[in-house]
Amino acid sequence: MILSSFRSFLCSDLRRFLAIPLTLSVVLSSGLPHPFLASASRLVHQYRVGYTSVQSLSLSVMAFSQSQFPPPPVAKKVEHTMEMFGDVRIDNYYWLRDDSRTNPDVLSHLRQENSYTDSIMNGTKEFEDKLFAEIRGRIKEDDTTAPLRKGSYYYYERTLKGKEYVQHCRRPVPDNKAAPSIYDTVLTEPGAPEEHVILDENIKAQNHEYYRIGAFEVSPNNKFVAYAEDTKGDEIYTMYVMDAETQAPIGEPLRNVTSYIEWAGDEFLVYITMDEIFRPDKAWLHKLGTEQSKDVCLYVEKDDKFSLDLQASESKKYLFVASESKNTRFNFYLDVSKPEEGLKVLTPRVEGIDTTVSHRGNHFFIKRRSDEFFNSEVVACPVDNISSTTVLLPHKESVKIQEIQLFIDHLVAYERENGLQKIIVYHLPPIGEPLRSLPDGHAVNFTDPVYSVGSSESEFSSNILRFSYSSLKTPSSVYDYDMNSGISVLKKIDSVLGGFDAAHYVTDRLWAPASDGTLIPISVVYRKDLVKLDGSDPLLLYGYGSYETCVDPGFKSSRLSLLDRGFIFAIAHIRGGGEMGRQWYENGKLLKKKNTFTDFIACAEYLIDNKYSSKERLCINGRSAGGLLIGAVLNMRPDLFKAAVAGVPFVDVVTTMLDPSIPLTTSEWEEWGDPRKEEFYFYMKSYSPVDNVKAQDYPHILVTAGLNDPRVLYSEPAKFVAKLRDLKTGDKILLFKCELGAGHFSKSGRFEKLQEDAFTYVFILKTLNMI
């Protein structure tokens, strides 16, 4: 019937369409067979003969319209009134929040949403399976990480073909008296020291839908291992200690702990627990073999804006317990040779001063940030006179000191300048000699125009720096760098199977002008033989822009499935992140938060204006606080995007930040503001995605959540979707997918995560008619 009508149309008098571009759009119903397309295309070709003026007659298929699918779930409305400062907000979906995760009505609604999503995506399931196979096919399934020497052993992780999780392994160093060298390799041939599998996560995960090890710490004498496991995705861990050789358990497990664990010598552990709102608030000292009830509480942080952190010095002689808010951080130290003496103050609690500490020889080293030294300085103080400080690296307005790493003879600074990362190596005087301002260091050189660099654990007593490197076209790599000679050796580069060739791709940095004239960096990558840069290319724009987090341009092999289909991938390094220094963050938080959203819109407009894409080809993606970004810009400029993916999005900003019983709320008042104050209340309400949904035509949207998520309650995206369904106009698809057995970071298996990528990519490709 459809083909017959089509044929009649083509046989009609086409002369009135001469020189007029003509597109015939056909909406496919779920039952319309795909052979229709081939037949229709043949008819177009057949009836073009003799009508040479009709050169732009074409057929497009609008294959993603709401009208062709069953109706979506409709959440019931139960009016919940909230009033503050004379302002009344009505939340009809407040009932969707159930902290017990057991309410049958709530679970039923979430399952209906998942079923609806499955029904919408059912027609592309075969393609999704093929795409997943393509993505998985790039992974070298049986592989090992670059071995790291710790004393007399090399430690590494192994993956096995077909297995979701890793094995934690080690091999003895053949000659452990020899100094480490960048040229060292692990011998595996017959007669070499035997490999020992310390822990196989695949065995541990067998009886769990979700499994994640958040800490794996080896004792200084290499005899014991402490590890923390989460079997729900709620980030509440159980800590186990075992003999590294025999795997025999040492004592009983420690329950309800965080993943912050460090050894204090070979007989003690320090760990951190959380309060009822999941705030890390207590530090404990545990002696091996004793009951948890006998553990000594080292410190309790009572201010609910502060949370505890824990780290060991590179020298392993001290542990540091830090208490931090978004603007202040102070530190205690524990001498691991005298753990019974408990914690002592190293840096005092001063509002607006942020300190991170470490140790070498007879000095503590302190990276210190303040309003005056906003990009940080590095100072040192004697262990026996912590009030006497010497500036080693002074503050610079254009260079942010992000992190320092200590060695027996060197200090390494991880810096940022003009949005790019740098590694600078400084030589230190021998231990015992006075410390003074350090002379200029030497930089490690990198080749890509934009890239990502990360610090890695290294041997404190050696001259070898280990770091990770990747770019948007360079797979993740591990290097050992000789800080004396300046020579670096590639120890490991992730294999990318399936014919990947980095030379096919181009990566670059662009600068988009924001509404106030600020230039916003954008990192881009594309395949140079497929992209035309004429405005017709599909583009996926990613953003985050919160917590001073730096979203540096690193490699992701699954992304190749978009690039190899002609996509451009771009990262908008918007304010609220830390890519351009501390002030970049300050100008995208609190009462300047809207800069984050307008920066992202400016980046999108720049990419369109400069022919990287068009409104009909531009898709956007963000996760968590990046999901807030996506929700906000969808309300502000729904016309600008074809499709959007909001992963575990923080979208109910005002309601959440008014509720101190919700995890993270109290500690984040310094990030978003405290809406119990009128100025912050109305400012936050002006951008909060749930509060600003209105009757307008939104693009295609995919929203995800995790039922056990402690960071962003599943109810936030659930409410956002329910309100969008009620108010949005047009027939674009809105999908909601809630993982009922996972948390903030979705499923835990390495292939399961690839499945999530495949699903997201299929959604994007489907909205663009590219399947």
Residue entry with tokens 């001498």:
335
- How many residues in the chain? 771
Active site residue 184: no
Residue 575 DSSP class = B
Point out the catalytic residue in the list 325, 376, 558, 624.
624
Token pair for 45: 């070709």
For 736-761, give the DSSP string.
EEEETT-BTTB--SHHHHHHHHHHHH
**Beta strands 618-623 and 261-264: pairing type?**
unpaired
Token pair for 671: 């990030």
Alpha helices in 538-581, H assignment, sequence order: 560-563
- Amino acid type, 521: P
Check if the beta carbon of residue 767 is closer than 8 Å to that of residue 733.
yes
Q: DSSP 3-state assignment of 481? A: strand
- Amino acid type, 459: E
Residue 52 main-chain phi, psi, to 5 deg: -65, -15
The residue among 331, 296, 327 whose CA lies nearest residue 313 is 331
Q: For residue 277, count other CB atoms closer than 10 A to its CB.
A: 17
Point out the catalytic residue in the list 448, 691, 744, 757.
744
Q: How far apart are CA 85 and CA 433, in angstroms?
A: 61
485 contacts: CB under 8 Å, gap ≥ 6: none
Q: What does each C-alpha distance from 74 to 45, 215, 738 come to in angstroms?
A: 45, 42, 16
Q: How far apart are CA 469 and CA 465, in angstroms?
A: 13
- Helix H or strand E encompassing 43: helix 35-48
Active site residue 175: no
Active site residue 624: yes
Check if the beta carbon of residue 725 is closer than 8 Å to that of residue 75.
yes
Residue entry with tokens 């679970």:
107
Point out the catalytic residue in the list 709, 746, 748, 757.
709
3-state SS track over 690-731: HHHCCCCECCEEEEEEECCCCCCCCHHHHHHHHHHHHHCECC
Is 100 buried (19+), middle (13-18) or exposed (0-12) by CB count in 10 A? exposed
Residue 212 DSSP class = E
Residue 699 main-chain phi, psi, to 5 deg: -70, 180
The residue among 317, 368, 393, 276 whose CA lies nearest residue 666 is 276
The catalytic site residues sit at 624, 709, 744
